[in-house]
Structure 1
Amino acid sequence: MLFNALKRDKLSLPTAETALPGRAQPIPTAMTHFVSGRPLAPPFPDQMKEVLLGMGCFWGAERLLWNTPGVYVTVAGYSGGITPNPTYEETCTGLTGHTEVVKVVYDPAVISLKALLKIFFEAHDPTQGMRQGNDIGTTYRSAIYLKDKDELTEARTIAAAFENALAEDGRPNKVTTEIAEAGAFYAAEDYHQQYLAKNPNGYCGLRGTGVSCPIG
């Protein structure tokens, strides 16, 4: 089945009927953050807030975000799709519907959502649809997942402002970032967590547009 899945169009999202079935139990992962030593699973301190950010390959995105002041902890994982508790190999087929994301737990007294999203839009190219650079497929699509409706409205406003900034810079491409209510988040396997801290010379595909996001 996985062999057939690899031959499909990985730029198209699966339906509930074609998605892989997944499993009832979470896949094994790390318990603590490799850099900070903080727990990867809740409970987190009461004042913390969360956002799920997809910027292509989650290795480089996670390193950028765990180094951001005000970020309490980061977790690499999968979200936005259908298959429960997917593996990395399953997600790479495009048949889970998930994209690679970083769960960002942050202190809003130190860094605002607006400031995080400014970093998000400037650090990758959110106009590429189902890809990010050489990483091609639905699993690499740009995404922002939030639970609060007001925060979703804020994210859409910032996306529109960045799209206008791109146009003013002579780049008329539309922002394709998926901005939606956060659903289930599934932590990735242990070896993906803080990958570039464990493998400093590992692959990082983060490439921004060079255009500043006009907020903050």
Structure 2
Amino acid sequence: MLYAFKSRLPSPEEALPGRAESPFPVPSTHTVLGTELQGPYPEGFEVADFGLGCFWGAERRYWQTPGVWTTLVGYQGGVTDYPTYEEVCSGMTGHTEAVRVVFDPSQVSYEDLLRVFWESHDPTQGFRQGNDVGTQYRSAIYTHSPAQQETAERSREAYQRVLTDSGYGEITTELAPATPRPFYPAEGYHQQYLDKNPAGYCGLGGTGLSCPVGVARA
């Protein structure tokens, strides 16, 4: 059954069993920003989770965004506990590649982060992003509060109008609360990958269409 689930998500019965704890260590410090990857985070800062294709390029896009305090990549929205990269790539865990963004809301709004999200990939492609094909490349937003959920929903509606007017299809982005969809940090070599490998692969690419400003606030 390995690599059988590239075009559909596995059921809980089909998914790999997982484990009780992470099978690998995760670095503590961001190689670019010098901040804590897994906390503690400064008081008053917020967390946002996004999946927009290969997480290498997605993470770089966010660590370059002013007001972002730290970023880390991982696996989210699946069934298998504490998966490995190889397991996620098999399609048998149900996860997507995600980037966790910790930000200072006094410097950058959640709406601004959503604009980065929509404009950095094509959210209409389903279980793929460009040449990257599989359920682990699906577009996703996992929210951490009712306010984030409402803002994300309004932002999606606004961007759908822009896409429709330009001949694109329906947005396929998974939009759901982060709980109970745990974020499992990825292996150390994935963290800030494009800082360690500046010439490394980055499949990030948007539609070229801008998300409207000032329409998504809760």
Alignment TM-score, normalising by the size of structure 2: 0.95
Hey, what's the Cα distance between the residues in 1 that align with 2:16 and 2:5?
A: 15
RMSD (Å) for aligned C-alpha atoms: 0.9
- Is contact 1:92–1:139 with CA below 8 Å preserved after alignment? yes
Mapping of 1:86-165 within 5 angstroms?
Answer: 86-165=83-162
Moved more, 87-96 or 19-28: 19-28
Residue 5 of structure 1 deviates from its aligned partner by 1.4
| DSSP 3-state at the match of 2:205 | coil
Q: Any stretches of 5+ residues in structure 2 without a counterpart?
A: none
Partner of 2:209: 211
Hey, what's the Cα distance between the residues in 2 that align with 1:9 and 1:190?
A: 25
Residue 36 of structure 1 deviates from its aligned partner by 1.6
Q: Any stretches of 5+ residues in structure 1 without a counterpart?
A: none
Residue 112 of structure 1 deviates from its aligned partner by 0.3
Hey, what's the Cα distance between the residues in 1 that align with 2:105 and 2:42?
A: 12
Hey, what's the Cα distance between the residues in 2 that align with 1:42 and 1:214?
A: 33
Deviation by residue 1:169-192 (Cα, 9 ceiling, x = unmatched): 2x2311111110002110000000
Residue 9 of structure 1 deviates from its aligned partner by 3.6
Moved more, 171-180 or 184-193: 171-180
Partner of 2:174: 178
Residue 82 of structure 1 deviates from its aligned partner by 0.7
Hey, what's the Cα distance between the residues in 2 that align with 1:117 and 1:147?
A: 14
Write the letter of the residue equivalent to 1:98.
Answer: H
| DSSP 3-state at the match of 1:163 | helix
Residue 28 of structure 1 deviates from its aligned partner by 1.6
- Percent identity over the alignment is 53
Residue 147 of structure 1 deviates from its aligned partner by 2.0
Write the letter of the residue equivalent to 1:181.
Answer: P
- Is contact 1:158–1:215 with CA below 8 Å preserved after alignment? no
Write the letter of the residue equivalent to 2:197.
Answer: N
- Is contact 1:74–1:104 with CA below 8 Å preserved after alignment? yes
Residue 152 of structure 1 deviates from its aligned partner by 0.6
| DSSP 3-state at the match of 1:23 | coil
Aligned pair partner of 2:165 in 168, 171, 175: 168
Q: How many residue pairs were aligned?
A: 211
Hey, what's the Cα distance between the residues in 1 that align with 2:75 and 2:89?
A: 11
In the TM superposition, structure 1's runs of 4+ consecutive aligned residues that sit over 4 Å from their partners are none
Deviation by residue 1:15-68 (Cα, 9 ceiling, x = unmatched): 110111111112322111111221111210011100110010000000000010
Residue 48 of structure 1 pairs with residue 45 of structure 2: yes
Alignment TM-score, normalising by the size of structure 1: 0.95
Hey, what's the Cα distance between the residues in 1 that align with 2:27 and 2:133?
A: 27
Partner of 1:11: 7
Residue 161 of structure 1 deviates from its aligned partner by 0.6
